[in-house]
Amino acid sequence: MIRSIRGNRSTFHAVEFPHHFNVLVADTTDETSADRFRTRNSSGKTTLLHILHYCLGADPRKPLFAGEAGADPALAGWAFTLELEVAGHDLIVTRAVDDGSEIQ
């Protein structure tokens, strides 16, 4: 069960999954609902899935959000942390983008 996904910078808004319910949907407000051109696109759902995959051991030779030239320079210094429960045990997994070969 996923409990949370966090980044090591204040610009990353942590995502908490309360009550053992792991569902990820984009939220709308009255303002966005009234504007037919505003959608749930670019709300970060796929990005969170990439981070989850990366924290759980995705191939470090294929860096997070990488192009053919390697990791996106905008991600230098970033690390992501995943808190989860597996078979009744609490686990905290952290993986840095700069050195993806190590998972803590």
pTM of the model: 0.75
Number of CB atoms found within 10 A of residue 71's CB: 18
Give the single-character DSSP code of 8: S
Per-residue tens of pLDDT for the chain, all 104 residues? 899 999 999 999 998 888 766 666 666 665 555 555 555 555 677 788 888 988 998 887 676 666 555 567 788 899 999 999 999 999 999 999 888 888 88
Q: What pLDDT sits at residue 59?
A: 80
Task: Please provide residue 90's backbone torsions phi and psi, each rounded to the nearest 5 degrees.
Answer: -80, 130
